Amino acid sequence: MNDDAQVLALLHALDRLPGPNHLQFPNGFDHTAAMVRATRLKERLTEDFRHACELDDHINDASYSFHIVLPAEAPRPAWPWECG
């Protein structure tokens, strides 16, 4: 069997393994909870930067689920962030 056929056979075998009812997210990933956290972060950034931020949740074929866009006219937050 050549390398391409071996890779294809491996991928087909992996497709048949038991796992989650979906293949979009890792087993145990809570998409709803992640969406709530992303929405809270977007709201916090909008408040802190005093400019509307956008939340893009239509991400496909990537290793992340959400993308938050900070507008260019929002150069820094209204007050220093506390980190810790």
Quick one: pLDDT at residue 54? Answer: 92
Nearest by Cα to 11 from 3, 62, 48: 3
* pLDDT exceeds 70 at position 30: yes
Spatial contact of 24 and 58, defined as CB atoms under 8 Å apart: no
Quick one: pLDDT at residue 6? Answer: 92
> What confidence tens digit (pLDDT) does each residue in 41-50 have?
999 999 888 8
Average pLDDT, the chain: 80
DSSP 7-51: HHHHHHHHHTS---S-SSS-TT--HHHHHHHHHHHHHHHHHHHTS
Global confidence as pTM: 0.62
The letter for the amino acid at 46 is T
